[in-house]
Amino acid sequence: MWNATEFRRIVSGERNDPFAMLLRAGFGAASLPYGIAVQWRNRAFDTSHRQIHRVDVPVISVGNLTVGGTGKTPMVEWLAKWFRERDVRVCLISRGYGAEAGARNDEALELEQKLPDVPHLQNPDRVAAARTAVEEFETELLLLDDGFQHRRIHRDLDIVLLDALEPFGYDSLLPRGLLREPVSSLARADVVALSRADAVDERWRAEIREVAMRHAPNAIWIELTHQPHQFLDSQGNIATIDSLCGRPIAAFCGIGNPAGFRHTLEACGLEVVAFRDFPDHHSYTEADITSLAELACNAKSLVCTHKDLVKILVSEVAAIPLWAVQIGLSIEEGQEPLEKKLKALLAAGETR
């Protein structure tokens, strides 16, 4: 089975061997019925042939256009903290991708550690979860994690993230590209957020913005950076970023955008001598841990994402320290108009 990196090499055209070209042709054919299905589904919601359910509190959706990580979880965390600082009772709603039956997925475990006072309901039926949150937890505001394509719930604010490293999914729908729906769907967005904005230059950011605003001319544009601020191990010990700089590290992740994670590590001066990516939401086995020991044989430390650490829960592998990098989100542009929108939601919620 291909990992996320190999799939991206194929659909991006980086791999140019005959087999890869044949696969791209097949993927292109398969993307046609997928596109028709997406168009039909969106039209059904747009024309009210499929019901959109309303709840009695404001709803904010954080989502994206593409498969893979765009930084949704840090954005959800930032929003939850913003509202909690104002004593608003918030509840997170997500589908629970990658969770085993009866268990919580890695993103829920990660957010549970970071937001201990914010309940998180995982249910494929998000309408039912939303009603539970309002009726049983007396929730005053709902945050939908990865909610852009899940249109059964009415939302008062749609935030769509674009990854600066690959904002438009190689301009093709799945499986030929990474787009879950056409770029024109940005017309539904109230806020378009460029994540990892510091990974590209000003000219490229301007080009991305021009394309996005062409489809969503009334949306607020914000730019985000994701900066590592410390390391954390499974015992709660903390290390500074500088403490690992200049020393060889091995890194791994089981997320949707491994290239983005590696870029984050290298951008803060870490020397990555070995790297491995697992499938998104990967459940680690003993065999995986053994392979990580081999990966880290020439390194002084082993580094992963917080999302991976909550599933492994060991502080070292073969006597090599295992650290998770903790990422802090910073809004570099557009914070004032975003907060104005959020305050308006609070005011509207008080009148419901």
Do 221 and 238 fall into the same domain? no
Specify whether the CB–CB gap between 82 and 342 falls below 8 A.
yes
Taking only the tens place, the pLDDT of each residue in 116-128 is 899 999 999 999 9
Taking only the tens place, the pLDDT of each residue in 317-346 is 999 999 999 988 999 999 999 999 999 999
Specify whether the CB–CB gap between 323 and 303 falls below 8 A.
yes
Taking 60 as the threshold, does the pLDDT of residue 103 lie above it? no
Instruction: Name the residue with tokens 């590592």.
Output: 228
Residue 36, in any domain of the structure: yes
Taking only the tens place, the pLDDT of each residue in 236-287 is 999 999 999 889 999 999 988 888 889 888 888 899 999 999 988 888 999 9
Do 99 and 182 fall into the same domain? yes
Mean pLDDT of all residues in 196-200: 91
Do 269 and 334 fall into the same domain? no
CATH label of the domain that carries residue 112: 3.40.50.300
* CA 176, 124, 76, 100 torsion-angle sign: negative
Q: What is the pLDDT of residue 300?
A: 94
Query: What CA–CA distance (Å, rounded) separates 130 from 137?
Result: 10
Q: State which amino acid sits at residue 305.
A: T
Residue 294, in any domain of the structure: yes
Do 234 and 215 fall into the same domain? no
Confidence band, pLDDT 50/70/90 cuts, at residue 37: very high
Query: What CA–CA distance (Å, rounded) separates 37 from 35?
Result: 5
Specify whether the CB–CB gap between 157 and 79 falls below 8 A.
no
Residue 54, in any domain of the structure: no
Specify whether the CB–CB gap between 124 and 147 falls below 8 A.
no
Confidence band, pLDDT 50/70/90 cuts, at residue 289: very high
Residue 52, in any domain of the structure: no
Do 265 and 318 fall into the same domain? yes
Using CA atoms in the order 215, 220, 221, 225, what is the torsion angle rounded to 10 degrees? -130
Least confident of 201-210, 214-223, 241-250: 241-250
Count the domains in the chain: 3
Structural domain containing residue 209: 59-225+330-350
Nearest CA among 1, 129, 19, 68 for reference residue 280: 68
Greatest mean pLDDT range, 4-13, 96-105, 141-150: 141-150
Do 106 and 139 fall into the same domain? yes
Residue 131, in any domain of the structure: yes
Higher pLDDT, 4 or 265: 265
Do 188 and 210 fall into the same domain? yes
Confidence band, pLDDT 50/70/90 cuts, at residue 351: low
Backbone angles phi, psi at 2, to 5 degrees: -75, 150
Taking 70 as the threshold, does the pLDDT of residue 87 lie above it? yes
Least confident of 50-64, 188-202, 337-351: 337-351
Backbone angles phi, psi at 257, to 5 degrees: -135, 75
Instruction: Work out the number of other CB atoms within 10 angstroms of the CB of residue 44.
Output: 13
Greatest mean pLDDT range, 89-103, 170-184, 234-248: 170-184
Residue 53, in any domain of the structure: no
Do 122 and 138 fall into the same domain? yes
Do 132 and 258 fall into the same domain? no
Q: Which residues pair with 304 in a beta bridge?
A: 324
Do 85 and 197 fall into the same domain? yes
Q: What is the pLDDT of residue 68?
A: 78
Q: Which residues contact 320 (CB under 8 A, 6 or more apart)?
A: 250, 293, 296, 299, 300, 301, 302
Do 77 and 153 fall into the same domain? yes
Nearest CA among 231, 209, 221 for reference residue 302: 231
Greatest mean pLDDT range, 105-109, 211-215, 231-235, 305-309: 211-215
Query: What CA–CA distance (Å, rounded) separates 287 from 278?
Result: 13
Mean pLDDT of all residues in 1-21: 87
Do 318 and 338 fall into the same domain? no
Residue 51, in any domain of the structure: no
Nearest CA among 306, 305, 304, 301 for reference residue 320: 301
The DSSP H or E segment spanning 261 is: helix 258-267
- What radius of gyration do the chain's Cα atoms show? 20
Q: What is the pLDDT of residue 105?
A: 60
Backbone angles phi, psi at 91, to 5 degrees: -135, 135
Residue 341, in any domain of the structure: yes
- pTM confidence score: 0.89
The rounded mean pLDDT for the chain is 92
Q: What is the pLDDT of residue 229?
A: 86
